[in-house]
Structure formats: structure tokens, C-alpha cells
Structure 1
Amino acid sequence: MSYAIIGFGNVGRALARAFARKGIEVFVATTRDPESFASDAAAIGSEIIPKTLSEAVKADIIFLAVRFESHPEVARALPTWQGKTVIDAMNTQAPPEELGGLPSSAVVAKAFTGAKLVKGFNHLVAAVLDQDPAVHGGRRAVFLASDNDAAAAEIGALAENLGFAPVKLGGLSEGGLLVQARGSSWAPLIFQDLFKRAS
């Protein structure tokens, strides 16, 4: 299984550090030349491999950590996303009417034709996501929502490998709404830093 993070801002770097902590190789890409962020990637760890966007989207599992407004540009990198699992780690404060009344992740799913989409890793601010998830005698929770149960299970297993405690919220129209920004207000689970105690 191969992994990529598209976007190398605060959230992308926090995700990259999660992979580096566990020694898992991950491609990182932006719309810029990979040489422009190669030294920042190297500073995180040898597991963080700078790639062009066209190279990174060849991965099996792809995190979207770009600005919400930039996701259509990423989607155009492939004619079809069939066989890919895409994790929507983005947030937007676009009002619901601009999204056609849909959850933001449902809008993203439309752009990534054929992909199995999972909403996740977006409810924590980057500074918290950046921390080791093993805290307070347990593991930091990450919320996952998807209309594809197999994809949710796949990303749940990845979250566990990265040291987090996955919490599945159901489909995008139910669970997705719990972890997205809605206009000028935040959904109930945004910024909720919760932990699962070791049993």
C-alpha cells in the first residue's frame, strides 16, 4: 500500500510527521516543484518523499490537505480516481448555500470521480494533529465518515497504525456534517480533542 499527502502546509506537515513517527513512507506533493520543499520534508524524516503532483497521485491512499478552494485543481490531476481512497482532511467556511446544501465532503467526492472518499483527520487544529497521539494513557481520537464502509475500515486501520484511535461516524450526510465547518459556525465535533483510554 502506498500513501501520499497533497498539500504541505501546517496540516500536511503534521500528517507527514505522523507517518515519520511510525517509520511509514509517504509521498508529499503540492502544485509547486518538489525541490521547493525538499529540505522541509527531509527535516521531518527520510520517510517523507517529495514528489510532483502527477507522481504523488499514483499512490493508493491520498490525503487532501490543501485549501478547500484548491481541491478541483488536484482532482484534475487524474482522469479518473477509480481504485483510489481519498481522505478529505480539509475544512471550509463556505456557507451551505455555496455548497448546494451538501456536506463539504460530498462536494469533494463529486470532484474525485470514482474515488472512495473518507472525511477524516480534519477536526483537530494542525498544532494538535502534529503532536504524538499517545497521550493521557490513551490515544487521540480521529473521526472518520464515509459512504463506503470498506474505505472507512481501511482508513481506520491506517489511523491505528499511525497511533490514533479511529471513531467512525457513519456516512457523509450524517457523520460528515458533524466534522465540517458550516458557514460562520463550526460543527459539534470540530476542535474536540478527545482520547480513547487503553482498555
Structure 2
Amino acid sequence: MSYAIIGFGNIGRALAKAFARKGIEVSVATTRDPESFAADAAAIGPKIIAKTLAEAVKADIIFLAVRFEQHPEVAKALPTWQGKTIVDVTNAYGVSPEQLGGQPSSKVVGQAFSGARLVKGFNHLAAAALDQDPAVHGGRRVVFLASDDVAAADEIGALAERLGFAPIQLGGLSEGGLLVHARGKSWGHLIFKDLVKFE
């Protein structure tokens, strides 16, 4: 299984650190030349590999950590996303529900990445929290996951466990997923909830 993070802002870097902590190789890419951020990627860890967008999207599991408005541009990188799992880490804060056709933002993202299995996840934590080791206070930091594809959600849940987080499945995008979606100028009820699960 291969992994990539598209976007190398605060959230993309925090995700890269999560992979580095566990020694799991992950590609990182932006729309820029990878040489412009290769040193920053290498500074996070030896298994954080800066690549072009075209190279990074060859991965099996892709974390979409760009601004919501940028997702259509990323989606153009492949004619079909069949066989890929996209983890939608975007937040459509400030985008009106009308612009989204009244749908959750992840449904809009899913339509752009045609053929992909889509899981909403890792988007509810602020970068400063996501950046930290998820082992806290004798428990594990929670990540919420939502998807209309149960198998994909389980797959990302297993990856979240490998990364040290405690995944909590919220159900479909139009049900539990609304708890971690921004709508216009309001946040879902679970966004920014920094919770710890004790075994």
C-alpha cells in the first residue's frame, strides 16, 4: 500500500509528521516544483518524499490537504481515480451551501475525483493538535471518519490506528459526516473537538 499527501501547508506537514513518527513512507506534493519544498520534507523525516503531483497521485491512498477551492485543480491530475482512496481533509468554510448544491462538501469532492472511494477524515483537528503525537494523557487522540463506502472507511480507520490515532466512524457523508463539515460560515459540531480515547 502506498500513501501520498497532496498539500504541504500546516495540515499537510502535520500529516507528514504522523507518518514520520511511525516510519511509514509517504509522498508529499503540491502544484509547485518538488525541489521548492524537498528540504522541508526531508527535515520531517527520511521517509517523507517530495514528488511532483503527477508522481504522487500514483499512490493507493491519497490525503487531500489543500484548500477546498483547489480540489478541482488536483482532480485534473488523473482522468479517472478508479482504485484510489481519497481522504478528504479539506474544509469548505466560507463556501455557501448554494455553491455546494446543498450537498456536504465531501460529496462535491467525491464528484470531482470520479471513481475514487472517498473518506472524510483528519479535518476536524486544528493543525497544532494534528501536529502532536496522538498518544496523550495515557490515551489516543481521536480522529473522526465518515464515508458512504464502509470498506474504505475501515481501511482508513486501520491506517489511523497504525498512525497512533483512535478512529471513530461517524457513518455516511450525509449523516454523521455533517458533524465534521463546514457549512457556509458555521462549523460542524465535532470540528475542533480535540478528544482522547482511553482503552
Which residue of structure 2 lines up, in the alignment, with residue 3 of structure 1?
A: 3
Alignment pair present for 1:80 and 2:115: no
- For residue 126 of structure 1, what is the amino acid of its counterpart? A
Which residue of structure 1 lines up, in the alignment, with residue 12 of structure 2?
A: 12
- For residue 91 of structure 1, what is the amino acid of its counterpart? N
> For 1:86-110, what per-residue CA distance to the aligned partner results, in whole angstroms no more than 9, with x for missing partners?
0000101112111000000000000
Which residue of structure 2 lines up, in the alignment, with residue 152 of structure 1?
A: 153
CA drift at 1:72: 0.4
Which residue of structure 1 lines up, in the alignment, with residue 106 of structure 2?
A: 105
CA drift at 1:176: 1.6
Partner Cα separation in structure 2 for residue 99 and residue 36 of structure 1: 33
Which residue of structure 2 lines up, in the alignment, with residue 118 of structure 1?
A: 119
Matches within 5 A, 1:147-186: 147-186=148-187
SS of structure 2 residue aligned to 1:97: coil
CA drift at 1:162: 0.2
Q: TM-score, normalised by structure 2?
A: 0.99
Q: Which runs of 5+ in 2 are unaligned?
A: none
CA drift at 1:146: 0.3
Partner Cα separation in structure 1 for residue 173 and residue 83 of structure 2: 19
Count, aligned residues: 198
- For residue 191 of structure 2, what is the amino acid of its counterpart? I
CA drift at 1:136: 1.1
Q: TM-score, normalised by structure 1?
A: 0.99
- Where do 4+ consecutive residues of structure 1 move more than 2 Å? none
Partner Cα separation in structure 2 for residue 175 and residue 83 of structure 1: 25
- For residue 144 of structure 1, what is the amino acid of its counterpart? L
CA drift at 1:184: 1.1
SS of structure 1 residue aligned to 2:174: helix
Partner Cα separation in structure 2 for residue 155 and residue 5 of structure 1: 14
Alignment pair present for 1:59 and 2:59: yes
- For residue 196 of structure 1, what is the amino acid of its counterpart? K
SS of structure 1 residue aligned to 2:35: helix
Partner Cα separation in structure 1 for residue 71 and residue 186 of structure 2: 22
- For residue 112 of structure 2, what is the amino acid of its counterpart? A
Partner Cα separation in structure 1 for residue 96 and residue 72 of structure 2: 18
> For 1:70-97, what per-residue CA distance to the aligned partner results, in whole angstroms no more than 9, with x for missing partners?
0001000000000000000010111211
CA drift at 1:28: 0.2
> For 1:146-193, what per-residue CA distance to the aligned partner results, in whole angstroms no more than 9, with x for missing partners?
000000000000000000000000001112211011111111000001
SS of structure 2 residue aligned to 1:12: helix
- For residue 157 of structure 2, what is the amino acid of its counterpart? G
Which residue of structure 2 lines up, in the alignment, with residue 141 of structure 1?
A: 142
Partner Cα separation in structure 1 for residue 65 and residue 77 of structure 2: 15
> For 1:4-43, what per-residue CA distance to the aligned partner results, in whole angstroms no more than 9, with x for missing partners?
0000000000000000000000000000000000010011
Partner Cα separation in structure 2 for residue 92 and residue 77 of structure 1: 21
CA drift at 1:133: 0.3
